[in-house]
Amino acid sequence: MRTLTSTLLAALVLLAGRLTAAELGQPQADLLAKHGPPQTVDARGFACYRWDAWTLAIQFADGAAARLEYAKAASLTEPDVLGVLTANGGQTAWTKTADRAWIRRDGAAATLSADGLTLTLSAARRPAPPVAAEATPARIAPPKPFQFTAQPPAPVRAKPEPPKSHFWLMLFSWVPPLLLAAFGKYLQKRQGLPKVFGPSDVIYPTPTIGPGGPPPATMDSVSWTQFELVIAEVFRRLDYAVEVAAGLGADGGIDVKLTKPGELVLVQCKQWKVFKVNVKEVRAFYGVMVSEGATRGVFVSSGEYTRDCRAFAEGKPLELLGRGEIARLVQSVQLPGENLWAVQTWLPAFKAAAKITTPTCPFCQAVMTLRQAKGKPPFWGCPKYPRCRGKREARLELLGG
């Protein structure tokens, strides 16, 4: 628990150094001078700013900020809430009065919405008079998260212990393996067995291919990387321009990008045969859609979706494809007698038509370089090596001619 707390607090301290916040009672002239004019003004007359996954709506009264509404595409976390409260009077100035409500010593109130997406702060008294504006406008940013510096415990000097000899321990640790290996060699020589300590071939027979050849490929028999390629091929045959990365784990929440004139569709694939997709996975994918400016999103899973997933996707440009929908899509685009799950049959045509992008480094975001060590398969490495040791596995089926 102590390690988890220290890690969280360290992340908050790093984040705090980069961010600035709007405050209740801040003069309108001061706020506009610091952050520039609002990007939009909503129907209520609130000044709206947007950055990353955040939205801030400000109501001005008597020339100062009287109401702040912080919102995110995903639910606000506890560090997000603490950061807003800390930027408005300090975290210790607020007292929690209910499950989602706080009150400040001067009567200002803070309320978190039931869906956890919006935190509203309302001033209780007349804001302070305007102060001189700064000369250079700066982009508005989220409030600084709550900061805390943990004091390390005082070191305790341990009494030196006399050195111990491990000679006999090391000697006898080798005796059992040597005896076991010798006994195995003896049995192998006496009985002519190819394996002494492995499972019996009678209990676990070696699989053999029958006279009809290997069984046909199915949704469950392909690997998860081939599963993504099948979904990409389905949409390619539906006249979409397809973009996939040549490195594994290089999607950032996006497995396939689909484009048509005036349309950007993001696809995420989960080949889950046992687990159900929960609403957390779908909500995170929707947040990526919003940040990328996608017109539509498609979440594909060979498993099942929870009821909360279906409820969350309702009314949004987000489509959830389950096992039945996948089968119908594949059936609608494959040719007579063709098995689309046999990836190697159509892979050359896919590589010739699709846009296969070079992945970026997971640490510094530099465009990676394809490398190969002696006797090992190719992999993507960071061009800044050894200063940066970013590495990704290569998608071998998409490399080469």
The pLDDT score that the predictor gives to residue 261 is: 94
What does CATH list as the number for 224-357? 3.40.1350.10
Say if residues 10 and 111 touch (Cβ distance below 8 Å). no
- Mind listing the pLDDT tens digit for each residue in 141-179? 666 655 555 555 566 666 666 666 667 777 777 778 888
Q: Is the pLDDT of residue 48 over 60?
A: yes
Percent of the chain with pLDDT over 90: 33
The pLDDT score that the predictor gives to residue 224 is: 87
Look at the block and give the residue holding tokens 């990704």. Answer: 392
| Cβ neighbour number for residue 227 with a 10 Å cutoff | 22
The pLDDT score that the predictor gives to residue 146 is: 52
The DSSP annotation for 1-16 comes to -HHHHHHHHHHHHHHH
Residues facing residue 60 across a β-bridge = 65
Which one, of 122, 26, 19, 28, lies nearest residue 80 by Cα? 19
Q: Is the pLDDT of residue 110 over 90?
A: no
Three-state DSSP class for residue 196: coil
Residues facing residue 276 across a β-bridge = 304
- Mind listing the pLDDT tens digit for each residue in 325-344? 999 999 999 999 999 999 99
Run of H or E including 29: helix 28-35
Q: What are phi and psi of 2, to 5 degrees?
A: -65, -40
Arithmetic mean of pLDDT over the chain: 79
Say if residues 349 and 317 touch (Cβ distance below 8 Å). no
Q: How far apart are CA 117 and CA 121, in angstroms?
A: 14
Say if residues 276 and 388 touch (Cβ distance below 8 Å). no
Say if residues 395 and 381 touch (Cβ distance below 8 Å). no
Q: Where in the chain is the domain with CATH 2.20.25?
A: 359-401
Q: What are phi and psi of 33, to 5 degrees?
A: -70, -35
- In single-letter form, the type of residue at position 188 comes to Q
- Mind listing the pLDDT tens digit for each residue in 196-230? 333 333 333 444 555 566 789 999 899 888 999 99
What does CATH list as the number for 359-401? 2.20.25
Q: Using the CB atoms, write b or e for 185-199: b if 16+ within 10 Å.
A: eeeeeeeeeeeeeee
Q: Is the pTM of this model over 0.85?
A: no
Look at the block and give the residue holding tokens 């499972």. Answer: 199
DSSP 367: B
Q: How far apart are CA 256 and CA 250, in angstroms?
A: 11
